[in-house]
Amino acid sequence: MLQGIASLGLEPLYMPGTEKIVLGAVGDERSIESLHLENYGCVERVIPVLSPYKLASRELHPAETLISISKQHIGAPYFTVIAGPCSVENEEMVQQVGNILQEEKVSFMRGGAFKPRTSPYSFQGLGESGLQLMAKVRERFGTLIVTEVMDSEQVETVATYADVLQIGSRNMQNFTLLKKVGKTNKPILLKRGMAASIQEFLMSAEYILAEGNNNVILCERGIKTFETSYRNTLDLTAIPVLKEKTHLPVIVDPSHAAGNRSYVIALAKAAMACGADGIIVEIHPHPEEALTDGKQSLSFPEFRNLMQQFRRLAAIEGRILP
């Protein structure tokens, strides 16, 4: 086995113990992977010393990534707010959303046109006409568009309208889609999968980066656990962990995690307090009439309240909030 290690140009090391033996191999683990040491019966574990993501890693790229889109910036010291309805429902409601975003000086509007829904019988979104409605809002208010692309076939269409392409949780390991958006020149908002470890999350970012697109925004949105008194468990520890391991901006989605508007403001503030670079939050002019996710959407007065609290927190956290 030491010969196999040496044959790859790696430096082999031998550490005999009293009951087991530790072998070492110094060099790039992408070459040692070709030996498939873990396949051997006598090998109990293969333990990499460095992280398997390279382009996403702060070990090799210590400086923070700052993403700039039409004079707007995402990444520290900016704190980015992305707000809007779960689904684009009709022109009136997105114009109302555009209006409050302008009043609150929020530059990014989220809105779903192609909607991933658990049930085939649920509302599936307006499709391209939803994107057109958002484009009209951008024309009038200047708000940049953040919207989901669900499939590699949709990338071209969605990229025509969107300023930021969102990859949903359920697609975090849709590698064909990751490669496709990696070839566009749009920033990508990548949501963590509900069962994805932080390492798998960074490996998915690496797929996009490896295609040449350096503008990846990571989004923590809750993981699956045994707790049932809210929808998913927002993993805020992931924020300082990600800030340590990667140079990419990290934002938080408190709406989908909580699944209940009562908890959204508390979680949004916690996100800023623990170092997130922004949030993506659902708002709706009339949450009780929303076609999707009304239960978790903030009303406009609640959203104004949140923005006011963000401004006070930003002042002491040294964050720039437009």
List the interface residues with a copy of itself, window 199-238 (CB under 8 A).
199-200, 203, 206-207, 210, 223-230, 233-238
CA–CA separation, 211 and 183 (whole Å)? 6
- Kindly state the smallest distance separating residue 9's Cβ from a copy of itself, in Å: 12
Minimum gap (Å) between residue 15 Cβ and a copy of itself: 5
Cβ burial, residue 91 (10 Å; 0-12/13-18/19+): middle
Query: Going residue by residue from 158 to 177, which x/- string records binding to a copy of itself, judged by CB under 8 A?
Result: ------------xxxxxxxx
3-state helix, strand, coil in the chain (%, to 5): 40, 20, 40
For residue 312, the minimal CB distance to a copy of itself (Å) is 5
The interface region with a copy of itself, picked from 63-71, 87-95, 126-134, 190-198 by CB under 8 A, is 190-198
Site map for a copy of itself, 284-313, x if CB under 8 A?
A: ---xxxxx--xx-x--------------xx
**x/- contact string, 96-135, with a copy of itself (CB under 8 A)?**
--------------------xxxxxxx-------------
Q: Which residue among 3, 9, 49, 63 contacts a copy of itself (CB under 8 A)?
A: 49
Residues in binding contact with a copy of itself, number by CB under 8 A? 99
Nearest to 100 by CA among 309, 304, 306, 318: 304
Burial classification of residue 120, based on how many CB atoms lie within 10 Å of its CB (0-12 exposed, 13-18 middle, 19 or more buried): exposed
Q: Which of 2, 6, 26, 320 binds a copy of itself (CB under 8 A)?
A: 26
CA distance 123 to 291: 7
Q: Which residues contact 119 (CB under 8 A, 6 or more apart)?
A: none
Which x/- pattern over 265-284 shows residues binding a copy of itself (rule: CB under 8 A)?
-xx-xxxxxxx---------
CA distance 300 to 31: 54
Instruction: Report how far residue 222's alpha carbon sits from residue 245's, in angstroms, rounded to the nearest whole number.
Output: 19
Beta strands 72-74; 108-110: pairing state: unpaired
Q: Would you count residue 20 as binding a copy of itself (CB under 8 A)? A: yes
